[in-house]
Structure 1
Amino acid sequence: MDDAGKILDRRQLFKNLFVFVGDKVADYASKRIDRVMPRGDYLRPPGAVEETEFLSACTRCDECIKACPAKAIKRYQGVMDVAVGTPVIMPRENPCVLCNGLLCIAACKDGALKPVAHANNVKMGIAGITESRCLAWGGQDCQLCYIKCPLQGDAIIQEDGKPVINEEKCVGCGVCEYACHTINNTCAIKVTAKREGSYTG
């Protein structure tokens, strides 16, 4: 092999080495971000601002937790996560009941929870129904999610005795998910958190 060939081989070796090291660094950074950033499978209290702003504004003072009459708001207990200590709602444990006056918002002095004109304007998330797990969709007589919904007839409607979510009206309180979970081992309803534009005045 001549000198030119050796130089080309050496260049290719270094090129491959840089690519390998770059890939490893990117992979490490990605895994680190996954550990630090919140998983996002929880809901914020009513009136929560966009997630990045929320994490910056919330001082973890627990005032919204203390004010919640339904005891639905809890401190997030994640590990190595920037959201640790922030207020969250886990619907299957305790949903938001959209209490009169939305007391958690009134208790927040940090601007992490903004006032909303009415409970109908809250946007914590959106419920979704897995029809294959739903008792009503399976032909059984079940209307529990519909009956328990605080916005009955708006957020959840019935079509031929089957529940249907109106995504535009659903506020993501989680009452339907909680209700379904109490009677259905496989739970047909899951509320997905809404992370941006999470409140409307």
Structure 2
Amino acid sequence: MSDRRKFFNTAFKGLCLCAGGGFLATLALKADDKYYLRPPGGEDEERFLSECIRCGLCVKACPYDTLKLANLFDSAKNGTPFFEPRKTACELCEDIPCIRDCPTGALDKKYLKMDKGYAQLKMGIAVVDNANCIAHWGIQCDACYRACPLIDKALKVELKHNERTAKHVFMVPVVDNDICVGCGKCEKVCITEKPSIRVLPRDFVLGFAGNHYVKGWDKEDENRLKDINSKKKTDDKKAQDYLNEGGLL
């Protein structure tokens, strides 16, 4: 009888472990496989993850409850801070308290030393969906433009000819990637059911032209050519050998 009871106890414990493991696996699979935005100063994901100790002090320091710590349902690593601009955007506090209270430097403190450091942040870049932004339909809407804290710099309105009517112009939002800080205020106020302007991590948006191209109008970039010999080098012997071997036949 004792052996039988022991067998059922062991079997029950095994079932509980399997059920618990399955539940945790389900939570992990259900976690949002979406992008997420880090707090100000946390744009370098690799460095951020190596230094963040999941203490939550940046979340506590945020006066607008923008930041939250990720759980198993979120795509960000469990316990790390992030924010969702459609729900709560970053208010770009002048003193950037989340960076100030970070004890490890996971949130880069260089922004605290800059003049108007909040305007130099690089949390993400706003991207406009031209197909669903109603301004591109000809309906006047400048909600995102008005909400931008760096209005006429990070987000501008440009006039575009309306070929359909030939009488009106489209007033469409245009983002300057170099200036946009990724606060998410534009996404927060977008009036379409799903936001037609979204803030994505910079790595999702920006390409890289490589070092082979030089911006001729940028003196700093053009300086890279200073010590380069641009004379074309030819190997006469190689050409002669090629001809002698009948390479043209």
TM-score band by shorter chain is: 0.7 to 0.9
1:166 to 173, 176, 179: 176
What SS does the aligned partner of 2:135 have?
A: coil
Whole-angstrom CA distance in 2 between matches of 1:190 and 1:148: 13
**What do the CA deviations read for 1:124-161 (whole angstroms, capped 9, x no partner)?**
01110001111111111110100000111111001022
Provide closer, same or farther for how the CA distance between residues 54 and 138 of structure 1 changes in structure 2, counting only shifts above 3 A: same
Provide closer, same or farther for how the CA distance between residues 79 and 143 of structure 1 changes in structure 2, counting only shifts above 3 A: closer
1:18: which partner in 2?
A: none
Partner AA of 2:145 in structure 1: Y
What SS does the aligned partner of 2:187 have?
A: helix
Unaligned runs of 5+ in 1: 1-33, 197-201
**What do the CA deviations read for 1:56-85 (whole angstroms, capped 9, x no partner)?**
211111111011112110111235977111
Higher relative contact order (CA closer than 8 Å, sequence separation 6+): 1
1:89 to 83, 88, 101: 83
After the TM superposition, which residues 144-155 of structure 1 pair with which residues of structure 2 at under 5 Å, given as runs? 144-155=143-154
Unaligned runs of 5+ in 2: 1-27, 160-170, 205-249
Give TM-score scaled by structure 2 length.
Answer: 0.60
Quote the sequence identity (%). Answer: 39
Whole-angstrom CA distance in 2 between matches of 1:80 and 1:68: 20
Whole-angstrom CA distance in 2 between matches of 1:54 and 1:128: 24
Provide closer, same or farther for how the CA distance between residues 131 and 55 of structure 1 changes in structure 2, counting only shifts above 3 A: same
What SS does the aligned partner of 1:41 have?
A: coil
2:51: which partner in 1?
A: 57
1:187: which partner in 2?
A: 195
Count, aligned residues: 160
How far residue 169 of structure 1 moved from its aligned partner, in angstroms, is 0.7
Whole-angstrom CA distance in 2 between matches of 1:132 and 1:76: 32
**Which protein is bigger by CA-based radius of gyration?**
2
After the TM superposition, which residues 100-111 of structure 1 pair with which residues of structure 2 at under 5 Å, given as runs? 100-111=94-105
1:66 to 54, 60, 65: 60
How far residue 89 of structure 1 moved from its aligned partner, in angstroms, is 0.9
Give TM-score scaled by structure 1 length.
Answer: 0.73
Show structure 1 runs of 4+ deviating over 4 A. Answer: 79-82
What SS does the aligned partner of 1:157 have?
A: strand
- Asked if 1:138 corresponds to 2:133, the answer is no
After the TM superposition, which residues 33-52 of structure 1 pair with which residues of structure 2 at under 5 Å, given as runs? 39=33, 41-48=35-42, 50-52=44-46
**What do the CA deviations read for 1:4-23 (whole angstroms, capped 9, x no partner)?**
xxxxxxxxxxxxxxxxxxxx
Whole-angstrom CA distance in 2 between matches of 1:133 and 1:110: 42
* CA RMSD in angstroms, aligned pairs only: 2.3
Whole-angstrom CA distance in 2 between matches of 1:172 and 1:130: 16
Whole-angstrom CA distance in 1 between matches of 2:121 and 2:82: 15
